[in-house]
Structure 1
Amino acid sequence: MRTRRSPLHGEPATYRWQPAPGELAVSAMRLEHDAEINGAFEAHSHDFPGLAYFWADGGIVRHGKQVRHVEAGDLFVIAPGDVMGQSNRDDLVGAQGWGVFFTADALGPDTPGAHLAWRTHPLLFPFVRGGAVTALRLKVPPQDRDDWTARIEALHDELTHRRDGYREAVSAHLVLLLVGVSRLAADVVGDLRENAEPLLAEVFDVIERRYQEPLSLREVAAAVRISPGHLTSTVRKRTGRTVQEWITERRMVQARRLLTVTELPIGDIGRQVGFPDAGYFARTFGKLHGMSPTRWRRVNGG
């Protein structure tokens, strides 16, 4: 389920993706003149990562205030929080490409969110830039373009027909795509890892180490030695989410994992992910997932 968070004054809208029970959080869509892309005609960002690949010249892509004319082999790496500019209906006239969007959960139950996972999941590091720099624009070599197109078409086919084993097939295609991104971005990623986001790295390191205990914005701010107000504005600008939302996201990823792979009582799971009050854990989980933890466990076979 994708939802739109209304923007604050002067900020773009943010689109969020909360998978429904049993939904595989991966999508592939054609990028062409007749493409129906919800929200494409307003300035917006996503809180999930994506790719836009074009195998031929044609069309334009608006990123923030920049306008980029599409060339054959262009691969745009869209990080959570990257602002896509307000577009026009004719921007994709002549375009021939694919968009692929996903959440980090699609890579497995132990992957703790697109921003939190970069230390342990190198395939996601090219996406950990949220708004800090312009969209990462890579170039697929001519000899590899047919393979890229075929890979995404195969991914789309699996998502459309849902034959036996499609989940495993989709995951395999997605991983291979991300391996390709990682290889193309190798030089850029090394620079980003060293220089681009030391503050975000610190913030997510604090969350990763302490999400299982009570943890507030003020405590995270103290740990990274800046004011809560500055931390809030920086993280939201660069990722599309607040610090508290990232704390909750990390807790929910672990909660879903425990609901799936253990038979622990709901209250025990809540306490293990930083909610001493079982009722508050159940309410928070229900608000984000549209059902109670008990029902979620039943629906997902836990």
Structure 2
Amino acid sequence: MTRIPDQPKRLRLVPISKLTNAPKWQLETMRALQEPLFLWFTAGQGRITLGGSTRGFHPHNAIFIPPGTMYGFQSVTRAQGVALHMGDPKGLDLPDAPLHMRLRESTQHSEVAQIIDAIQRELEGGQAYAERAARHQIGLLAIWLERQRSSAGDDSPRGLSSRNANERLTARYAALLERQFGSALNVSDYAQALGVTPTHLTRACRASCGRSALQLLQERRLFEARRLLTETDVPVQDIARNLGYSTPGYFSRAFAARTGKPPSAYRKGRGA
């Protein structure tokens, strides 16, 4: 069976405007990266679902997303800023819980901007040991995050303890789903593993992020299928098997029902 490639982990800065101009499925589908991600918004607004809860974001919002945390954007308009993909998290003393902080003071804005600018200078300067120097700057950003967390705005999750019961359950489901979405498990299986009924799990997901438990599962599998079809040459039958579908035919029918194209035609057009 063909090995399914992982998503790349590479230290890089990407303009928020480039992220928000991506196809809708790349923007809104709940998914997770295997590297830490820091988002700094300087303009625009929208909504982001982070772990198990959906909140609005605005200018001067700083969002940290640990590896393996499911997230997705909703209704992003004219957003600007920068996304810092941190690459391999090894050796970086970063928070282990997602953070969404509203920074009201101009000194806070200047501090984060200075760190981002320093990282960008290293990555674009072409000097020896540039990535090593940039990772040291990320270490300073980690300290900055910890310092700001205690003074963050009211909509800032400070870990699971600040969330309500529905958000905590949805966050647990999202974390479990990210680890197991390639299996043949269904919503009932996930609910049993979490110690609740499928109805309770679905109700919690809808209350937290406006999606049912089944929608989150289907969207995560579909996102991975689209990624593999557009970014790799992994055979369709191997994609189907690795995403928990019983047969390639069943996968093809389910994929076509959601996208309007069978996997082979979708790959040929590279998602167009």
Q: Structure 2-normalised TM-score?
A: 0.50
Q: Structure 1-normalised TM-score?
A: 0.46
